[in-house]
Amino acid sequence: MTERDPWSALDGEVAQWATPPALWLRDDDATGPAPAVATLLDTCAAADVPACLAVIPALLDPEFAPLLAAHAAETTVIPHGFGHTNYAPEGEKKSEFGDHRSLEVMSHELRGGLERTQTAFGTRFRPIFVPPWNRCGAMTGGALKGAGYTALSAKSTPAGVTGVTVIDVHIDIIDWRRTRGYGGDLPILETLRARLTALRNEGKEHEPTGILTHHAVHDDDAWTFLETLFGRLEGKVNWLTVDDVLRAMR
């Protein structure tokens, strides 16, 4: 199999769509004006791809908001947990907002994270909750609306979440289970192609597909992938803002 195969397969799938597929990009774990954040924003700006930054409210650098002021208004900011702290019992998967914690404490942190992020970023802020490790319990899902959130974005939202819009992401370009680095063109592109094929076959072409990045752990291959993906799909897909995604899923 040649290196070009996964890209060609993606091209072939996109070509079968009557209207361009809708994609959006969420980047996790931002806290301040790090060089990698600037690289992400510059890469997105060069391709006219809106970036949605999931930031850690308790760790925000006060210089972060001024950095974003120079970027397009389509760059939005949403809360990513509160302190990105693991409270899961030993032997369980990492979670900051799992059902093993007090609902009162979690609700307080949910409100606090929302208020900190809104105060820091103003009009770029959106009340969309991203749980650390893309994982939260049913109690958190039930408490989001009361804490002021209108949406939840994870990777596989638990059943029973009501009162908020779910806008999950689908393709993470980092391989957390094995290398904790860039996952490689073949598995990432095949996952994206399979997702688009399933949507087309099921008549769900209106549903956006979320791409998840983590700027802090990107290596050269990860940055090259994003640049190639943006260039390869230019004019063939619609890159949505998070506001567009919300409208599509309501």
102-113 per-position pLDDT tens digit: 999 999 999 999
C-alpha distance across the termini of the chain, in Å:
41
With b meaning 16 or more CB within 10 Å and e meaning fewer, what string describes 123-158?
A: ebbbbbbbbbbbbbbebbbbbbbebebebbbbbebb
Q: Using only C-alpha atoms, what is the Rg of the chain?
A: 18
If we measure between CA atoms, which residue out of 63, 49, 73, 61 comes closest to residue 125? 73
Query: What is the rounded CA–CA span in Å between residue 177 and residue 221?
Result: 18
Q: At which residue do the structure tokens 């989001």 appear? A: 144
If we measure between CA atoms, which residue out of 120, 73, 115 comes closest to residue 241? 73
pLDDT attached to residue 71:
82
> Hey, what are 183's tokens?
């996952």
If we measure between CA atoms, which residue out of 249, 246, 250, 248 comes closest to residue 76? 246
If we measure between CA atoms, which residue out of 179, 183, 235, 172 comes closest to residue 209? 172
pLDDT attached to residue 69:
85
pLDDT attached to residue 159:
67
Output the CA–CA distances (angstroms, integers) from residue 235 to 19, 20, 129, 131, 221, in the order listed. Answer: 11, 8, 30, 32, 23
Query: What is the rounded CA–CA span in Å between residue 25 and residue 39?
Result: 15
Low-confidence ranges of the chain (pLDDT < 50): 1-2
Q: Is CATH 3.20.20.370 correct for 5-249?
A: yes
Domain boundaries, the chain: 5-249
pLDDT attached to residue 1:
40
Query: What is the rounded CA–CA span in Å between residue 161 and residue 150?
Result: 12
> Hey, what are 126's tokens?
């959106």
Residue 169 phi, psi dihedral angles, 5° rounding:
-95, 165
**Strand pairing of 181-182 and 174-175?**
antiparallel
pTM of the model: 0.95
Q: At what angle do helices 220-233 and 35-47 cross, to 10 degrees?
A: 20
